Structure 1
Amino acid sequence: MQTFVSPIGFNTTSVTRSLLEYGIEDEDDVQLIRPATETDDDRAAEAVTDVKQLLQEIEPTITVTVETVPHDDFEAAVMTCSNLLRTAAGDTVVSLSGGARDVLLPLTVATMAHEATVLTTLGYSDIDGQVREFGLPTVSTTVSDGALNTLRAVANTDSSVTLPQLASDLEAAKSTITRHISSLEDAEYVTAQTEDRIKHVSITLSGQLYLATVQA
């Protein structure tokens, strides 16, 4: 079972195309998020009805519910979205497309906070109409000074660097660098791939953002 969480505005394309291209199945749950106060209640209700009809024509057992968030209380909106993600059943898929900014921004913040439990995040492009999966960065994990120095060394490479090269550059024991890389992988600040029994390390977006925050 999957729970899809998506903002909804007057244009339903960003909702339906994201769900259909990703793949929706029987007994999945779709939670549509909208502001508690709309500028046009009739158009908002029509958009919800259109999504319900389309999805239930595909599979009658799909559940579609509407959740509202306050547009004038950012903290309350974030916590409402957080609660939806925390209590979602099965695999959670979030679509960060469409809808009012008053909904989209709180949902984005909540999704980043629950990054560890959200299976995937989808984005519908207004430019080319494509649906893409992307990983939101996380910068909440603090690493040791030694691991931070190793992360900086990884960041200074063009693409990837091997453990022996890191140990040489930092004048440290390979076992120490291995320990640092392990903690950086756990924090999702680097990724590592082994080729010909040699580990190659690359910095992630989360790692780049973490460096930006500690260097600010």
Structure 2
Amino acid sequence: MQTFISPIGFNTTSVTRSLLEHGIDSEDTVQLIRPATETNDNRATEAVEDVKRLLQEIEPKIVVHTESIPHNDFEDAVMTCSNLLRTADGEVVVSLSGGARDVLLPLTVATMAHEAAITTTLGYSDIDGQVREFGLPSVSTMPSKGALETLRVVADANSSVTLPELSDNLEAVKSTITRHVSSLEDAGYVTSWIKERNKHVSITLSGRLCIAVV
């Protein structure tokens, strides 16, 4: 079972393409989010109905809900999106495409905050019309001073660096470097692999963002 969460505006393409390419099942739930403030323009309501009709033609039992997000209080909007993500059933799939910016930005912030609970994040390209899956960065854990120094050295490497190279560069014993790398890997800031009996380490997007914010 999946819960698919997506903003929706006047154009349904980003929603329907993401849903159909990712795949839906009769037990899934689709949560469409839109600004709470209504206008006299009926296109938003018509877009929701169009999505419902299309999905129920494919899977008659699929459940489609609409959630209104407050647009004039950013913190309230983020927390409303956070609650949707926190209470979603099954695997959580989020589409960060389409809809009003008043909804998309709070949803993006909430999605990053709940990164560990999100199964899949999708993005629809306005440039080439493709739906792509991407991983979310996480910077919720700040490394220790020593681990941060290790992370900076890894970041300076062209592609990857070995544990002996880190030890030489930082003038630290291998056991200390191993401990730093282990904590950084647990936080998602680096990735490592064994090649020719040496452990190689490279930085992730989360690691680059961590350096950028400290």
Alignment of 1:90-105 (within 5 A): 90-105=90-105
Q: Supply the distance in 2 between the matched residues of 1:21 and 1:194 (Cα, whole angstroms).
A: 35
Q: How many residues are matched?
A: 214
Letter of the structure 2 residue corresponding to residue 89 of structure 1: D
Deviations 1:84-116 (A, max 9, x none): 000000000100000000000000000011001
Calculate the TM-score normalised by the size of structure 1.
0.96
Calculate the TM-score normalised by the size of structure 2.
0.97
Bigger mean CA deviation after superposition, 21-30 or 102-111: 21-30
Q: Gapped runs of 5+ residues in structure 2?
A: none
Q: Is the 8 A contact 1:91 1:119 kept in 2?
A: yes
* 1:183 Cα offset (Å): 0.5
Percent identity between the two aligned chains: 77
Moved over 3 A (4+): 38-41
Q: Does 1:193 align with 2:193?
A: yes
Letter of the structure 1 residue corresponding to residue 18 of structure 2: S
Q: Is the 8 A contact 1:38 1:44 kept in 2?
A: no
Q: Supply the distance in 2 between the matched residues of 1:130 and 1:92 (Cα, whole angstroms).
A: 21
Q: Does 1:8 align with 2:8?
A: yes
Q: Does 1:118 align with 2:114?
A: no
Q: Supply the distance in 1 between the matched residues of 2:191 and 2:39 (Cα, whole angstroms).
A: 45
Bigger mean CA deviation after superposition, 205-214 or 34-43: 34-43
Q: Does 1:58 align with 2:58?
A: yes
Alignment of 1:176-191 (within 5 A): 176-191=176-191
* 1:28 Cα offset (Å): 0.3
Letter of the structure 2 residue corresponding to residue 28 of structure 1: D
Q: Supply the distance in 2 between the matched residues of 1:188 and 1:52 (Cα, whole angstroms).
A: 38
Q: Supply the distance in 1 between the matched residues of 2:209 and 2:147 (Cα, whole angstroms).
A: 15
Q: RMSD across aligned C-alpha pairs, in angstroms?
A: 1.0
Instruction: Give 3-state SS (helix, strand or coil) of 1:140's partner.
Output: coil
